[in-house]
Chain A
Amino acid sequence: DTEVTQTPKHLVMGMTNKKSLKCEQHMGHRAMYWYKQKAKKPPELMFVYSYEKLSINESVPSRFSPECPNSSLLNLHLHALQPEDSALYLCASSQDWPGPDTQYFGPGTRLTVL
């Protein structure tokens, strides 16, 4: 099973709302990632978790708060977002980090901030 699941598929939120994105994998991978993809642009890395610890934060604003409760689960908590944060948010996992391991991506959550 090489599946990464993400919920919800779509999310619409106001600038004062608090919401969370969820990502799950059951491949036994120890590394998990969040990417952001704006329309017609390539994905950009936001965060990397390795063994449930944050390894990389690509200078992401604090209104995005990642959490890795266990090795299979990755959350992205959203608070006070701006309309320009509207994008496709992608989760991925790989066997290990750091390392040149293949990353497996979920289908993404399409976020619209009003």
Chain B
Amino acid sequence: DAKTTQPPSMDCAEGRAANLPCNHSTISGNEYVYWYRQIHSQGPQYIIHGLKNNETNEMASLIITEDRKSSTLILPHATLRDTAVYYCIAIPSYSGAGSYQLTFGKGTKLSVIP
């Protein structure tokens, strides 16, 4: 499975866009990039995932570089409730391409500041 690396922490002003980077330089063409977050003392929450194309949903946007070696999760208007640890995880898209297990790294602790 591809290993992902993320900055340990980031700050973002409330109301501004939060851009969380993830490096996955060894990702294969068959691995999704998944993002989850965990608000303090709660269970992880799915945010978004993508394979090659950029994706957007009601929570966030995911921008994947053309070479797929890195991606950025964008929270367009961060609120205090977005303060959490954000995890970027590579997961194979089909059987035989690796393990489907969610292996959480250390993630990025995002602090949204009033």
Chain A residues with a Cβ under 8 A of chain B? 4, 42-45, 48, 56, 88, 90, 92, 97-100, 102-108, 110
- The reply to whether A42 and B41 form a contact with Cβ atoms under 8 Å apart is no
Closest 7 CB pairs of A and B: A105-B43, A42-B104, A100-B91, A102-B46, A98-B100, A105-B44, A90-B43
Knowing A42-B104, A45-B101, A100-B32, the reply to whether A108 touches B42 (Cβ < 8 A) is yes
Can you name 11 extra interface pairs (CB under 8 A) apart from A99-B95, A105-B43? Answer: A4-B43, A42-B104, A42-B105, A43-B104, A90-B44, A97-B100, A100-B34, A100-B91, A105-B45, A106-B43, A110-B41
- Considering only residues 43-72 of chain B, those with a C-beta below 8 Å from chain A are 43-46, 49
CB closest residue in chain B, given A105 = B43
Do the beta carbons of B44 and A102 come within 8 Å of each other? no
Please encode chain B, from 25 to 46, with 1 for each CB lying within 8 Å of some chain A CB and 0 for all others: 0000000101000100111111
Whether B77 sits at the interface, judged by CB under 8 Å, is no
- Closest partner residue, chain B, to A100 (CB atom): B91
Residues of chain A with a CB closer than 8 A to B102's CB: 43, 45, 103
CA of A108 to CA of B40, assembled, Å: 12
Q: When the two chains form their complex, are residues B100 and A42 in contact, meaning their CB atoms are under 8 A apart?
A: no
- Whether B43 contacts A107 by the Cβ 8 Å rule is yes
A43–B46 CA distance with the chains assembled, in angstroms: 14
- The reply to whether A100 and B105 contact each other, CB–CB distance below 8 Å, is no
What are the residues of chain A within 8 A of B93 when measuring CB–CB? 100
Residue of chain B at shortest CB distance from A44: B104
Query: CB-CB < 8 A to A44: which residues of B?
Result: 104
Complex Cα distance, B104 from A48, in Å, reads: 16
Report the Cα distance A110→B101, complex, angstroms: 23
By the criterion CB–CB under 8 Å, are A107 and B100 in contact? no
The residues of B that contact A110 with a CB separation of less than 8 Å are: 41
Q: Is the CB of A103 within 8 A of B46?
A: yes
Between-chain CB contacts (< 8 Å), 10 pairs: A4-B43, A44-B104, A99-B95, A100-B93, A105-B44, A105-B45, A106-B43, A107-B42, A107-B43, A108-B42
